[in-house]
Structure 1
Amino acid sequence: MFRLIENVLSNDQVAKLKDIAARATFVDGKISNPHSKAKSNLQMHDQNLQQEAVNIMAQALFACEDFMNFAIPTQFAPPLICRYTPGMKYGLHPDAATMGIGNVSIRSDLSCTLFLNDPDSYDGGALRTQLGTEEVRVKGPVGSAIVYPSHTLHEVEEVTKGERLVAITFIQSQVPDGFQRELLYELGEIAALEGNSMSHENYTRLQAVQFNLRRMWQRS
């Protein structure tokens, strides 16, 4: 299940992140995956500025109700700003099953890209994901996030003009199974949209179903 969530980052937060990126040092993205033949991008490599950027993005994600309801995160990797200039791309790949964050390893149930510049400011650079015989291409509006299953094959198409500036993170969900997460999300949407028109008895019954499914499916 994919979800494009708009306005995760405010205009002020985007401006601060762009300023951080402008001041930061970027290095070859292969530094975090030296054996990759698919990866051709740049990633931020400045510990102090990285922590400043992480604080802004983590605050925005935790404050976004739609993101929290959709991903049901237990923890996620510190978001990392990446830059793609003309000729750069990230070939077709799945994301690793686990991610080492310091001395901790997290399971990557979901991947997330935060878009930091206007899609009209660069050519190419779409996030393309394979779903069986179908394809999904996304160039999200500035400040938005796309959240999608980490196991899917996906790529960043070659940037041919301008610069693609994004941040990426990987999420361990309290509900690892994507189908179960989708059911919980849909039930939550129904409760939010229709709850006021239900009788108190039926709304209470709906809540009981939601809570009991969460008890059944939630993992630490």
Structure 2
Amino acid sequence: MIVCIDNVLTSEELEQIQLSLASGEFVDGKLTAGTYAKIVKENYQLKGDSDVAKDVRAIVNQALKRNALFQAAVRPKIIRPPLFSRYEAGMSYGTHTDNALMGDDVLTRSDVSLTLFLSDPNTYSGGELVIDTSLGEQFFKLAAGAMIVYPSTFLHRVAEVTEGVRLAAVTWVQSIIRDAHEREMLFELDTVQRALFEKHGKTVEFDLLCKLHANLLRKWADV
């Protein structure tokens, strides 16, 4: 399931992140790429141990925590520290798959990948996130402050930026629901459950739907 979420960041948060990144120190993005991804990764990455990185990570983490759609669709158990990337003209990230396991001392499983767009799409050309799906390649270039989440099992790439600068935050999530199809079913049940309650209130049908949702969550959750 691929989900696009608008307005993850407020205008004030977006402006603060953009100003912070403007003064941040960026290094070669290959430093955080896997063995094979390094071959096709051409971008800059905000230095991870800087004060700027800590500040902007905190803003993004708070935004993810409060976003109800992200929480319902992803069911996060562990969210990796976000990485902040910068693509200038001529830079891209070729086709790759994200590492299944991440971390040094404590390993986490990557179930869901996300990209939070930080640049106005009108200020740069190219730079689309391209996901290889069963329907072919799908291109995504969202508004600044919007986010896309998708299963980490997909091959994907960032198309070459031909003009301007593309800023984005990326990270990976270990979900309490490991299987992508089970996550999607729970999300759809949750969506119907909320809509039914808003339309008819607490009914027998609503209670049965709540029971089904709760029992499936109990059956599938890895906590």
Amino acid at match of 1:113: T
> In structure 1, which of residues 154, 157, 179 is the aligned counterpart of residue 156 of structure 2?
154
The one-letter code sitting in structure 1 at the alignment partner of 2:25 is T
Correspondences of 1:98-117 after superposition (within 5 Å): 98-100=101-103, 103-117=105-119
Distance in 2 (CA, whole Å) between partners of 1:34 and 1:136 is 24
Q: Which of structure 1's runs of 4+ aligned residues deviate more than 3 A?
A: none
Quick one: distance in 2 between partners of 1:49 and 1:134?
38
Residue 81 of structure 1: aligned partner: 84
> RMSD between aligned alpha carbons?
1.2
User: Which of 51, 55, 75 in structure 2 is aligned with 1:52?
Assistant: 55
Are 1:7 and 2:7 counterparts? Answer: yes
Normalising by structure 2, we get a TM-score of: 0.95
State the 1:49 CA deviation. 1.1
2:97 maps to 1:94 = yes
Equivalent residue for 1:31? 31
Distance 1:205 1:34 in 2: 46
SS of aligned partner of 1:8? coil
Aligned length: 219
**Which deviates more from structure 2 when the two are superposed, residues 104-113 or residues 34-43?**
34-43
2:211 paired with 1:208: yes
Q: Identity percentage over the alignment?
A: 37
Match of 1:138 in 2: 140
Matched residues in 2 for 1:171 and 1:21: separation? Answer: 23
In the alignment, is the contact (CA less than 8 A) between 2:126 and 2:159 conserved in 1?
yes
**For each residue in 1:18-67, what CA deviation from the matched residue of structure 2 results, as whole angstroms up to 9, or x when unmatched?**
11101110001011127411100000005211111111000000000000
> Aligned to 1:104, what secondary structure does the other structure show?
coil
Structure 1 residue 133 displacement after superposition: 4.7
Structure 2 vs 1, CA of residues 107 and 34 (structure 1 numbering), >3 Å: closer, same or farther? closer
Instruction: Output the TM-score relative to the length of structure 1.
Output: 0.96
Unaligned segments of structure 2, at least 5 residues: none
Q: Which ranges of structure 1 fall in alignment gaps of 5 or more residues?
A: none
Contact 2:30 2:42 in 1 (8 A): yes
- SS of alignment partner, residue 52 of structure 2: helix
Letter in 2 for 1:67: F
Aligned to 2:44: 42
Residue 176 of structure 2: aligned partner: 174
